Structure 1
Amino acid sequence: MNLQQLRYVVATAEHRTMTDAARSLYIAQPALSRAIRDLERELGMTLFARSGRGVVVTTHGRRVVKLAREALDAVHEIEGLANQSTVTEAELRIAATPSLEPGLAGRLLPAYAAAHPGVRVHIVRCDGRDGVVSAIRDQRADLGLTDLPVPTDLITHPLERQEIVLISPPGLDLPNPVPMGKLNGMRLALPARGSMRRRELDAMFGKFAVTPVVVLETDERNGWLKAVRNGQASLLWYRGLAEQAGRAGLVVRSLEPAVRRVIAVVHARRRLPLIAQDFLATAEKGTAA
């Protein structure tokens, strides 16, 4: 048994499907299934019962998952002690998505740095919400800045609601704000099918009974903007991306009715380092002002 197997067990219990757990761990699903089976053989017990397309944690499995979380938390604390003894300058690691970093992080970091000049802040750039969650679970970041919802094993501290807007190439004859019905038949660049963000957008389309024409499906943000700049499609994204889009000569419009997502600082269910607690206090104070 090793730490990697413990992380696999915890991720599988949290996601309840091998496919989603493997995606969060950035490994292939067959490799995860094989690792879980090997651990079950080693322990002589079944941890997960297969149920349709997902898995159910067994009685033995719940106990193992609880102990695995405790073991991973202990490892994190030991690593923190080692870092304190070898690093003279404190470092705070914050995972953030590219669309949120320039806005919220850009406002929060100067205030935090002014009050804590001895702390070096390292931004862990992640490709979307799933990347932020993985960075925290893998202990590559102390805090994360992302939109909600996130899995329930993370603690959330909501900061603000950010608007979703339509970013389009110039020349389209559209009002501002754009009625939701106008999205019907509109050429759009969307996140990859099956991703959490794509499921949310598909739910929004279903709610308003619209069916856009999907021109591009990718989680690569540069690909989205390139498609809009080339006049191939429009894009639904956060207002925080609007400044970058405006510099590229694109047109940003609100939606009617308005759609907003909650932006939050998130972290694991463990005691935070003092420097992370201080950043959280700065963030909450800044949004309350």
Structure 2
Amino acid sequence: MTDAARSLYIAQPALSRAIRDLERELGMTLFARSGRGVVVTAQGRRVVKLAREALDAVHEIEGLAHHTGASDAELRIASTPSLEPGLAGRLLPAYAAEHPGVRVQIVRCEGREAVVSAIRDQRADLGLTDLPVPADLVTHPLERQEIVLISPPGLELPNPVPMGRLHGMRLALPARGSTRRRELDAMFGRYSVTPTVVLETDERNGWLNAVRAGRASLLWYRGMAEQAARAGLVVRSLEPAVRRVIAVVHARRRLPLIAQDFLATAEKGTTAA
């Protein structure tokens, strides 16, 4: 159960609770407790077999509809600005090559919480964001992306930058109280560093403008490195390295076939990489 919960990026108690709710709804026992954990019951194996057959049938029906109206199909993907270049530059071309009749709309979201809201409000079929996300969403991890220090030129810093050198450093940070700010503050606490906060905002252009003006440095994903380098900024790794899992996420419901096809393309690219 612990391994299954970890692979789904949810807490183990949440997974156990979901299984109990399903067993209660069906009125049968799907898993039996044993000395080594849990085992699937005979009823559970039968349910899995029938469920797979039913889902395969649904998939075939969706396939008929998809091929009938492929030219009208539209896939909506919510993404944060820092992850959009990777989506547009790598995932979308691979998907378009295999599914040329599908239009893709990128729903631009300012942060992880906005991606989650877009999916919950059904303004997007899929989302691209970093983890963690709430347990009501399904996650498909794609890669681990490094967090780097983006600085104005002229700073005398090694590469990689030891965490201790962040103490007193002038930084542009997300707004106080936001999820991302809490995560960065927790990281600072782990390494006993206190930066000098020059700017607090969730507006990413504001961060980069502060760095361009020489007012502050910025902690963000390496995916922004190319944009930062074009602006004449310096990108350095941290020591120890800090990485976050990037994933495609969606609601716990049957996905449209075009969304399933995108997941298959994304996961194929991850395997190839």
When normalised by structure 1's length, the TM-score is 0.70
2-side partners of 1:103 and 1:110: how far apart? 11
Q: What letter is aligned with 2:188? A: F
Which of residues 119, 127, 130 in structure 2 aligns to 1:147? 130
Alignment of 1:91-170 (within 5 A): 91-170=74-153
The offset of 1:106, in angstroms, is 1.8
Q: What SS is found at the alignment partner of 2:128?
A: strand
1-side partners of 2:96 and 2:227: how far apart? 25
Q: What SS is found at the alignment partner of 1:144?
A: strand
Which of residues 151, 154, 157 in structure 2 aligns to 1:174? 157
Identity %: 86
Work out whether 1:282 is the aligned partner of 2:269.
Answer: no
Q: What SS is found at the alignment partner of 1:197?
A: helix
Where does structure 1 differ by over 4 angstroms across 4 or more consecutive aligned residues?
Answer: 84-88
Alignment of 1:208-287 (within 5 A): 208-287=191-270
Quote the residue 1:55 is aligned against: none
The answer to whether the 8 A contact 2:172-2:197 is kept is yes
Q: What SS is found at the alignment partner of 1:141?
A: coil
2-side partners of 1:204 and 1:281: how far apart? 34
When normalised by structure 2's length, the TM-score is 0.74
2-side partners of 1:217 and 1:250: how far apart? 20
1-side partners of 2:203 and 2:183: how far apart? 17
Work out whether 1:194 is the aligned partner of 2:177.
Answer: yes
Q: What SS is found at the alignment partner of 2:90?
A: helix
1-side partners of 2:249 and 2:209: how far apart? 31
Q: What letter is aligned with 2:85? A: P
Q: Deviations over 1:160-213 (max 9, x none)?
A: 000000000000000000000000000000000010000000000000000000
The offset of 1:104, in angstroms, is 3.8
The offset of 1:89, in angstroms, is 1.2
Quote the residue 1:73 is aligned against: none
Say what the alpha-carbon RMSD is for the aligned residues: 2.0
Q: What letter is aligned with 2:190? A: K
The offset of 1:103, in angstroms, is 1.6
2-side partners of 1:152 and 1:131: how far apart? 16
Unaligned runs of 5+ in 1: 1-61, 63-79
Quote the residue 2:13 is aligned against: none
2-side partners of 1:214 and 1:220: how far apart? 15
The offset of 1:86, in angstroms, is 9.6
Q: What SS is found at the alignment partner of 2:265?
A: helix
2-side partners of 1:213 and 1:152: how far apart? 34
The answer to whether the 8 A contact 2:151-2:233 is kept is yes
1-side partners of 2:107 and 2:192: how far apart? 38
Unaligned runs of 5+ in 2: 1-20, 22-61
2-side partners of 1:230 and 1:262: how far apart? 31
The offset of 1:105, in angstroms, is 3.9
Aligned length: 210
